[in-house]
Structure 1
Amino acid sequence: YTHRVVHGQKGYHGVATVSRIPLREAGRHDWQDNGEARHVGVELLGHDLVIENVYIPAGGDVPDRDANPKFAQKLDFIGRMTRWAEALHRPTLLVGDFNVAPLDCDVYDHKALLKVVSHTPLECATLGDLRDSHGWEDLGRRFIPAPERNYSWWSYRAWWRRKDQGRRLDHMWASPALAAQARAHRVVEETREWDQPSDHVPLITEFEL
């Protein structure tokens, strides 16, 4: 992967896109207006394809806009993304850690997590507005249809595997025309058992471009 576009802050936030195909940076958006490195877009040269890589804020612990500024920032971030997505016109792949598990079956216990940040009704509805703004197709649920188990994140606690308390926080969404070219999708869950792993696991989607 010799082609790289990186937007990061040392020891803090960051996003990166690496590729075997030549690419060029297509933009950076600061949807919080605070300088955090949470988005970078790239264009694949020789292909009519844009990849938008985003890291949506986690939102803190309290699901209340007034009591928790971080939660308000998260909702506003997604709202600004929604307005941005309405104007997109090229085949686009939107990927990243969205920090929202939008469907009832995207978490291990829907009722228990209704008041937990990442699965509150307000977050799910706000992310739904983003999905509808461009007609995005959720590739994770196209290839692994609801209500099948589909998680991308587990706690670092030692019992994570035994209890399987996962959430689907990471997503790949495609523009309608690009979604038609998707051929396969999988969650690389085995990486969660590596030595010193991330608490997130990779997603892989195959396209016929």
Structure 2
Amino acid sequence: MTSTSFTVASFNVNGIRASRRRGFDGWLADRFPDVVGLQELRCPLSEVGEFPGYAASIDVGSIPGRNGVGLLTRHHPAAVRSWAVAPPRARGLGAYASHGRYIEVDLSDRPLTVACLYLPKGGLPADMQRPGGMRAEADGGAKYERKMAFLAGFARELDRNRLAAARDGREFLLVGDLNVAHTRHDVTNWRPARKMEGFLPEEREWFSSLLSPRRLIDVVRTLHGDEPGPLTWWSWAGQSFVKDVGWRVDHQLASPSLARRAEAVWVDKEPSSDARLSDHAPLIVRYRE
């Protein structure tokens, strides 16, 4: 029987080796999505391991223990492009070419390009940094400036890649941990979050600039509606996971025709804190063929 739908999962594993110790392989075998985007592999290629039933396209980057992205597909892809092999052309991204933050594949079983991104977390601008009132050490806004440069450059690069897929007769889908929560429905405590990295007004404006009826659609928000959630990240600390106090920073942004075929979305949140595979949970969307 021919399948009439396919599923795409995006999952920040926060270290593939640690996630595997917690049960990642069992999750993957049980859910078996058609495409899986992975972020924060955080290990050398020799230690990533195999993914039975999948062809794995991987870029672990050059920074030990940091970053690393991958795309798992049921069939060997028709083409694979990573920044390590084909550096980004947009200004502001060159320094990240070897960091293992972006990879994309052309699927061989359907006309679709899937891209996977792990976007820098960033920090606060200098005028918002208060000694003793921050989780991270004050840096004069350096991380903030780097993230904003990345955002500007990536918007241009994303347009270029999306249009290249369209010229080739392919739909386009961006999945990954974008480290930006877009609307107040994407953060449990959204009012104080307005002064936190990942929910700053300028970051949210950038996210809005990616979206339009003719370019890319936030399929998760479209399917879920204008109501709280679905959350995808919860701090390891305290009772955040149990009380469902978290953020939605994991996304799937689809070209318009593909977005119209999105029919269901769910976050595969574990039943208890002890069963967590990562500080993120897999974000899964089902699309009609």
Is the partner of 1:86 in helix, strand or coil? helix
**Which residue of structure 2 aligns with residue 121 of structure 1?**
201
**Which residue of structure 1 aligns with residue 111 of structure 2?**
48
Distance 1:133 1:85 in 2: 16
- Where in structure 2 are the equivalents of 1:114-153 lying within 5 Å? 114-132=194-212, 135-153=215-233
Residue 164 (structure 2) pairs with residue 84 (structure 1): no
**Which residue of structure 1 aligns with residue 93 of structure 2?**
32
Instruction: Report the Cα offset of residue 25 of structure 1.
Output: 4.0
Contact 2:188-2:228 at 8 Å conserved across structures: no
Q: 5+ residue gaps in structure 1?
A: none
**Which residue of structure 2 aligns with residue 12 of structure 1?**
66
Instruction: Report the Cα offset of residue 142 of structure 1.
Output: 1.3
Contact 1:49-1:92 at 8 Å conserved across structures: yes
**Which residue of structure 1 aligns with residue 182 of structure 2?**
102
**Which residue of structure 2 aligns with residue 58 of structure 1?**
121
Change (3 A) 1:207 1:197: same
Mean alpha-carbon deviation: is it higher for 76-85 or for 25-34? 25-34
Is the partner of 1:173 in helix, strand or coil? strand
Distance 1:80 1:191 in 2: 39
Q: Deviations over 1:147-169 (max 9, x none)?
A: 23321000011311344320000
Change (3 A) 1:69 1:128: same
- Runs of 4+ aligned residues of structure 1 deviating over 4 Å after TM superposition are none
Amino acid aligned to 1:21:
H
Which has more radius of gyration?
2
Is the partner of 1:166 in helix, strand or coil? coil
Mean alpha-carbon deviation: is it higher for 4-13 or for 83-92? 83-92
Q: Deviations over 1:109-163 (max 9, x none)?
A: 1211111001110110012112249621111111111123321000011311344
Aligned residues: 208
Distance 1:24 1:165 in 2: 40
Distance 2:55 2:271 in 1: 24
Amino acid aligned to 2:147:
K
Question: Scaled by the length of structure 2, what TM-score is found?
Answer: 0.66
Contact 2:264-2:285 at 8 Å conserved across structures: yes
Question: Scaled by the length of structure 1, what TM-score is found?
Answer: 0.90
Instruction: Report the Cα offset of residue 4 of structure 1.
Output: 0.8
Q: Percent identity?
A: 29
Distance 2:242 2:236 in 1: 12
Amino acid aligned to 1:121:
P
Q: CA RMSD in A?
A: 2.2
Higher relative contact order (CA 8 A, sep 6+): 2
